[in-house]
Amino acid sequence: MDFLLPGEIRATVFGIDEEKMVRRTIEEILARLKSEKFNSLEITRVASEASKRFLGVRYVTVSAQSRHIQGLARSAAA
CA–CA dist 63, 45 (Å, integer):
5
Q: What is the pLDDT of residue 1?
A: 44
**23-62 pLDDT, tens digit each:** 999 999 999 988 888 888 889 999 876 556 667 788 889 9
Confidence of residue 77 (pLDDT cuts 50, 70, 90): low
* Three-state SS letters, 15-45: ECCHHHHHHHHHHHHHHHCCCCCCCEEEEEE
Q: Residue 21 — φ and ψ, nearest 5°? A: -65, -45
At residue 48, the 3 state secondary structure works out as: coil
Q: What is the pLDDT of residue 20?
A: 93
* pTM of the model as a whole: 0.71
